[in-house]
Amino acid sequence: MKTTKVYHCRIYYEDVDIGGYCYHSKYLNLCERARSEIFFEQGLSPVYKDYHFVVKSILADYINPGFFGDELEIHTSVLKQTNASLKLLQVVNNQRNETLFTMEVLLVCLKSSKVSKIPLELSEVFKT
């Protein structure tokens, strides 16, 4: 279960302030996009039948600034999986392999707005 998925992207003008620094909130957006891409790459959607994941908690660490034009790699790996939740580590590095941001995110599976066991089809997504 230590498989790491890598998502590539860039910091665009819409992501930065007047000084060219990436807004702190954009890292959350980029990590969300990286998690969604893990599903899309396998022909699935993050919303499956009546199931979906919601963020329960985030532990974020802003290490170095990102700048307009930086090429990023977002590494996502599973730290822990239970019947109804996933704890992921996401690490954002720039083209110089400098770590800009790390985040531990706890996702809980919901079915019709109630905590639910992760269906097999979704539980396999992060293992491949």
Residue 42 lies in a domain: yes
pLDDT at 1: 43
Distance of CA 101 to the CA centre of its chain: 12
For residue 128, what pLDDT is reported? Answer: 60
Distances (CA, A) of 34 to 82, 113, 128: 21, 24, 15
Instruction: Report yes or no on 128 lying in a domain.
Output: no
Per DSSP, helices labelled H in 41-72 are: none
Tell whether 17 is covered by a domain.
yes
Domain that holds residue 93: 4-123
The residues near 115 (Cβ < 8 Å, ≥ 6 apart) are 84, 108, 109
24-48 pLDDT tens trace: 999 999 999 999 999 999 999 999 9
Residue at 55 is within a domain: yes
What is the distance between the alpha carbons of residues 103 and 92, in angstroms, rounded to a whole number?
Answer: 9
Number of domains making up the chain: 1
pLDDT of residue 18: 96
Q: Letter for the amino acid at 99?
A: T
- 8 Å CB contact between 92 and 74: yes
Is the separation of the CB atoms in 26 and 19 below 8 Å?
no
pLDDT in tens, 67-122: 999 999 999 999 999 999 999 999 999 999 999 999 999 999 999 999 999 998 88
What is the pTM for the complete model shown? 0.93
Residue 107 within a domain = yes
CATH of the domain at 99: 3.10.129.10
